Structure 1
């Protein structure tokens, strides 16, 4: 998974204009984020057509506000620059819920 902080171009809008992307909003202090993080490589492997980008809520609070992300972990799916779905709430998310959400968009 790519981390926005580690990328040379942190202009998110520019990064997601082409292709399919899953934005994974998270934070180091978030227990629900730590719960799902070990499953993320398996989730990514199930969806090789998507680039997954991890966005730390605390480091990029302005992006979270712009995208109206109020609960984490949250997932926003982008296809050629357009949002096609989001899984955003304050609840703990399971691998099954996340993969079901992404499958529902195809």
Structure 2
């Protein structure tokens, strides 16, 4: 499944109203660790079934980053049925992201 690009306009529909698990990658284009995690997130989206993988640029959507207390990037937040199920800050191995969405 392709990675979904989130905005303020589609966040509630794509994440909070989604059935099942959603992994959201909070990132910025200028962030080195975020660039490093980009291919990992893409890879994960193609390998894990039943999980929606999304990215949100914190420079473009600062309001959502503030709502979820994102102070450092990359930050990964997993949601299950609209509720926060886990949070991970920083570049991590793909296996850690896989654990978050199980």
| TM-score w.r.t. length of structure 1 | 0.79
Q: Does 1:99 align with 2:74?
A: no
Q: Which residue of 1 aligns with 2:4?
A: 2
Q: Match of 2:70?
A: 69
Q: CA RMSD in A?
A: 1.9
Q: Secondary structure at the match of 1:78?
A: strand
TM-score by length of 2: 0.82
When the two structures are aligned, how many residues end up with a matched partner?
A: 98
1:85 aligns with 2:66: no
Check the 8 A contact 2:51/2:101 in 1, yes or no: no
Q: Which runs of 5+ in 1 are unaligned?
A: none
1:41-86 C-alpha deviation (Å, 9 max, x unpaired)? 2222232211111100100011100010011011000011111111
Misfit runs of 4+, over 4 Å: none
- Structure 2 residue runs of 5 or longer lacking an equivalent are none
Cα offsets for 1:75-100 (capped at 9, x unmatched):
00001111111112xx4x13x2x432
**What corresponds to 1:18 in structure 2?**
18
